[in-house]
Amino acid sequence: MQKNNRKYLIAGNWKMNKTAAEARELIKEINAVVGQKTDVAVAVCPPFTALESAAELLKDTNIQLGAQNMYPKAEGAYTGEISAVMLRELYCSFVILGHSERREYFGESDAFINEKVIAALESNLKPILCVGETLSQRESGEMLSVIETQMKGGLKGVGEDNGENIVIAYEPVWAIGTGKTATPEMAQEVHAFIRKLLVEQFGETGTKVRILYGGSMKPENASELLDQSDIDGGLIGGAALKAKSFAELVTIAQSKS
C-alpha cells in the first residue's frame, strides 16, 4: 500500500558498471517493460559517461534519470569533477549523494555531503541522500546516533520548502552487495527513526518525504520490505543491472500502489 500519498520510487544505482553501449542496451530492455508505468516512480542512475545516451533513450518515458555524485561548486578549476548544472543539462532529476562507498573510499564527510545537497537543490536536482551504519556501529549500539549525525549533517540548512525535494536512502553498510538484507522489522525501525527526524526538521512536510531502503534488495525480499509503513521504495544495486530483476521490483511496487 502506498503510504500518505508517497508514490513508491524504485531507483537503480548502477555504480561503476556498464559502458555507454551496454547502458543503451539495458535501458532499452528496462524501457520496454516499465517505461510507461505511472503508478510507480522509476529512476536509473548510470555512470556519468552513459548519462547522455540514457537521456536520449528515456525521453518520452516515465523513467527518470539520476547521477551518482556531483561536486558542490558551479564551475571552476576542479579537475575531474562534475557540477549540478552539467547534470541538469543532461536531464538528470536525481543525484545520489553520500553513498557509503563514497564516504568510505573517498573520505566524504557529512559537511561536504551537505554542501552537495545544498548545491543540488539550488539547481533543482533532487538529492537521494544515503545514510547507514556499519556492522560494528550496529553491534556497539551506535546505530541510531550514527544515522542522526548523518541526517542532521547532510540536511543542515535545508528548509521546509525544500523538504519534498529530498529523498533519503537508508542503506545499512553491512547489507550492501553482501546478500545480507536487513529484515523488514530492522529496516522499519530505522526508517521510522528517520521519519521522526524529518518531521522534526520539516514539520508536516517530513511525512511526505520518501525513504528508500537499499542493501541487497531483490525480487525475493522486496515485497515484505515495501510493506513496511515507512519504506517508500528501494535504491537497488546489483539487481538493477539486469532488466528482468529491476522490472520485477517495479512490478512488485506497482502491485502495492
| Cβ-based nearer residue to ligand 13P, 12 or 72 | 12
What is the length of the chain?
257
Tell me phi and psi for residue 173, to 5 degrees: -60, -35
191 is catalytic: no
Residue 171: active-site member: yes
State in angstroms the smallest separation of the CB of 9 from ligand 13P.
Answer: 13
**Binding residue (CB under 6 A) for ligand 13P from 176, 190, 198, 247:** 176
CB of 212 to ligand 13P, least distance (A): 9
230: contact with ligand 13P by CB under 6 A: no
Considering the rule CB under 6 A, would residue 236 count as an interface residue with ligand 13P? yes
The answer to the question of residue 166 lying near ligand 13P (CB under 6 A) is no
215 binds ligand 13P (CB under 6 A): yes
According to CB under 6 A, which one of 238, 243, 245, 253 is a site residue for ligand 13P?
Answer: 238
Neighbouring-strand partners of residue 92: 65
Helices (H), 78-183: 84-89, 100-105, 110-122, 135-139, 143-154
Give me the residue label for grid cell 544515503: 130
> What is the distance between the alpha carbons of residues 139 and 154, in angstroms, rounded to a whole number?
24
Contact region for ligand 13P (CB under 6 A) — 19-27, 70-78, 185-193, 230-238? 230-238
Q: Of 1, 6, 36, which Cα lies nearest the Cα of 167?
A: 6
Q: Which phi and psi angles does 161 have, rounded to 5°?
A: -60, -25
Residues annotated as catalytic (active site), given as ranges: 99, 171
